[in-house]
Amino acid sequence: MEVECRSCHCGSADAERPNVILYTILSQKGTATGRYHQQAQHGCQCEGHKTVRLSDPARTCQEASGVLVKTVNFVRNVPSFGLLPREDQLLLLETGWAPLFILGLAQEKVGFEVTETRAPSMLKRILLDGRGPNPEPDRSQATMAGVQRLQSCLSKIWSLDLSPKEYAYLKGAILFNPDVPCLQTSLYVENLQREAQGALQEVLLPQHPGVQSHFARILLSAATLRAIPPALISDLFFRPIIGSSDIVALVMEMLYMH
């Protein structure tokens, strides 16, 4: 079932779409152009679905790379993490590197701006369909809506004004996630998560009289980090550097690098 975008007219009638006559004429020339006609009919051009890229990739990607290195170093230097079976280590890092990285962005106060990605015009894509040498395979791209969710998460974390110790214990609570499927030591991981959360509460006590409500705010904000797709993080901050390489494989390699 198709969902119409309320902020635009993507789901309106054909007569209201620009260039629909051009698409109709071209679509009659072959099945390939017909496919593009269908894409033009169903593609959404509202603000949230526009693909974006970093406005200053040289600076931001360098800062992001530094945050990723610090994130992996943090994980490697947690003694209890090193005691886990290697398989569990890999599972926890595979599912946790993205929210840990976002926390790192917040801790390092890394801000960034994005600009809209200019895609080839529909007519150019139709005319060049299948003619270009080695066309790039389709891949996901960061959208404005995804970036706005990420920036909202960062703003919530910044509003908590966490200390370095609070960041460290919160990272521990995120890293040791007993809900990750196929863990061999899920009960042990659950205990480690409770220890990290307990240590975080103890650190909060002297500074926040209403420690329970503040603690709940921190955990709630941390939970939103898992809603940010790792693909968004990879496409936005690391695709300009590593290209089509697998960021998860790179993180694993960094973990066991001596």
Structural domain contains residue 118? no
CA dihedral sign, ordered 27, 30, 36, 38? positive
Residues 235 and 191 in one domain: yes
Q: Looking at residue 240, which CATH number applies to its domain?
A: 1.10.565.10
Structural domain contains residue 133? no
| pLDDT, tens digit (0-9, with 9 covering 90-100), for 114-139 | 999 875 555 555 665 554 444 444 45
**Banded model confidence at residue 24, pLDDT cuts 50, 70, 90:** low
Task: Count how many domains the chain has.
Answer: 2
| pLDDT, tens digit (0-9, with 9 covering 90-100), for 48-93 | 678 999 999 999 999 999 999 999 999 999 999 999 999 999 999 9
Checking if the pLDDT of 41 tops 50, the result is: no
Structural domain contains residue 125? no
Whole-prediction pTM value? 0.77
Structural domain contains residue 201? yes
Structural domain contains residue 152? yes
